[in-house]
Amino acid sequence: MRNKKRLSAAMLGLCLLCGGTSAMADADITTSGGTADTAVTYTVASTSFTVTIPASVTIDPTAGTGTVNVALDATNYKPAYDSGNDAMQIWVFLSKAANRTGGINYLSDGTNKIAYTIKKNGSDVGIGTSPASNAVIDWTTRNSLNTASADLALKVTETATVAGSYSDTLTFTVKTMQLGENDTPIL
């Protein structure tokens, strides 16, 4: 009798433990007016985008040229905004060149400088804090493509007078903005 009580207590404890974790099973409705519930789950993919900037770029010493490839992947970008007519815009822009002086970009060895240009599609790339006028990539959620890229051509424009290793640091910034029905910014 004592073993039966222990077994019953153990079974009751097990039922209490497992009772809250039972799996949902299909429900059969077998009477008129009967009801059953079902759980509905919808998972929204990640709401992120990725902008890839190379860690470094080497300018070929013979040709005096190099390329910076900037790439945007917005495949999983699902921003939350109000209306079906609205869109989100992503700008990737060049916000700073460390050795830029007087509107000219320079590579420097710490003492000496060599001028160079940064161009996209043959036009000078602006450097500053205005994403609209300095955009390297200008993309909106209205685009049918989920990716965008830009190649920036670097070209040394003067001859070095002193041997050495010359460098500069380019800073890229990403800005997003909600756009209204007519692509006007919603502030």
89/138 Cα distance (integer angstroms): 7
Q: What is the pLDDT of residues 151-163, one digit of tens each?
A: 999 999 999 899 9
| Phi, psi angle pair for 112, to nearest 5° | -100, 155
Q: Give which of 147, 131, 123, 120 is closest to 179, Cα–Cα.
A: 131
Domains present along the chain, CATH in parentheses:
50-179 (2.60.40)
Q: What is the pLDDT of residues 91-135, one digit of tens each?
A: 999 999 999 999 999 999 999 999 999 999 999 999 988 887 789
